[in-house]
Every structure is written in structure tokens, then in C-alpha cells.
């Protein structure tokens, strides 16, 4: 099986289910903080930002092409 590229959202159509599916192998995220909890909370914020940004860019790309 071919390895998925990093930071590229792949959208494909499945004939059997008659549905689209999306696959994403996201980038590495880093969280920083003075405590473990602060570092984890910062990691959560960074990951959410990355997801929102990548998905929004892909939606704009699809809307532009249609």
C-alpha cells in the first residue's frame, strides 16, 4: 500500500457506499508549557488550529474548482 503524504488531504469517492471519504495524515504538533497540563493544553490548541487551517484551505480549493 502506498504511504500517504504528510499534510495533504485526500478526497475520494467510494462506489460501494456511494459516499466521499477524506484521509489526512497531519503534521506534527508541539505544545509548550510550564507544567504538563499547560503543555497538553497548548498542544490541543496548536492541533485544533492546524486542523481548522488545513480543512479550510481544502474547502476553499474545492469551492474554487467548482
pLDDT in tens, 25-40: 887 889 999 999 999 9
Total structural domains within the chain: 1
- Collapsing DSSP to helix, strand or coil, 11 comes out as strand
Is 15 domain-assigned? yes
Torsions phi, psi for 22 (to 5 deg): -125, 140
Is 3 domain-assigned? no
**pLDDT above 70 coverage of the chain, percent:** 97
Is 56 domain-assigned? yes
- Collapsing DSSP to helix, strand or coil, 47 comes out as helix
Is 27 domain-assigned? yes
Q: Which domain holds residue 51?
A: 9-65
Q: Which helix (H) or strand (E) holds 10?
A: strand 9-14
Q: If you average pLDDT over residues 41-52, what whole number do you get? A: 95
pLDDT, residue 27, reads: 77
Q: Which pTM value belongs to this model?
A: 0.76
Amino acid at each position: 500500500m502506498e504511504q500517504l503524504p504528510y499534510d495533504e488531504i485526500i478526497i475520494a469517492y467510494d462506489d460501494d457506499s456511494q459516499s466521499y471519504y477524506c484521509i489526512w495524515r497531519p503534521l506534527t504538533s508541539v505544545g509548550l508549557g510550564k507544567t504538563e497540563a499547560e503543555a497538553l493544553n497548548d498542544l490541543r490548541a496548536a492541533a485544533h488550529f492546524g486542523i481548522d487551517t488545513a480543512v479550510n484551505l481544502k474547502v476553499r480549493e474545492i469551492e474554487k474548482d467548482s
